[in-house]
């Protein structure tokens, strides 16, 4: 299963954020920071985008991208740990 980076830019925080957050939490996603999430998902990025975009408004923005093994971070210990754990669980299967 792949790990995706999901970035949200919502025109207005409120109902849309609550709905998309519920969907992300239901996917066991990790909120890395603010409106940045990591999601473990089977299937292509467009399927994840389609799953999330139906609760977004016309002025909201959504970016979904596959994360490969070449990543680095600074001062993001919980997120880095989560990403490393996902990579190691994939090799264990």
Domain parsing of the chain, residue ranges: 2-92
CB of 51 within 8 A of CB of 4? no
Q: What is the pLDDT of residue 93?
A: 46
Judged against a pLDDT cut of 80, whether residue 44 lies above it is answered with yes
Q: What is the pLDDT of residue 18?
A: 84
CATH architecture of 2-92: 2-Layer Sandwich (3.30)
How far apart (Å, rounded) are the C-alpha atoms in residues 24 and 38?
A: 9
How far apart (Å, rounded) are the C-alpha atoms in residues 39 and 20?
A: 13
Task: List Cα–Cα distances, 34 to 1, 9, 42, in angstroms.
Answer: 24, 10, 24
pTM, rounded to two decimals = 0.87
CA angle at residue 11 from 76 to 36, to 5 degrees? Answer: 15
| Model confidence pLDDT, tens digit, residues 55-79 | 888 889 999 999 988 889 999 989 9
């Amino acid at each position: 299963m792949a790990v995706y980076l999901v970035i949200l830019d919502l025109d207005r925080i409120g109902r849309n954020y609550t709905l998309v957050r519920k969907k992300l939490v239901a996917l066991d996603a990790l909120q890395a920071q603010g409106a940045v999430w990591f999601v473990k998902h089977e299937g292509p990025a467009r399927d994840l985008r389609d799953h999330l975009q139906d609760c977004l408004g016309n002025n909201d923005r959504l970016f979904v991208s596959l994360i490969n093994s070449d990543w680095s971070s600074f001062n993001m210990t919980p997120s880095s740990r989560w990403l490393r754990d996902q990579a190691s669980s994939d090799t264990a299967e």
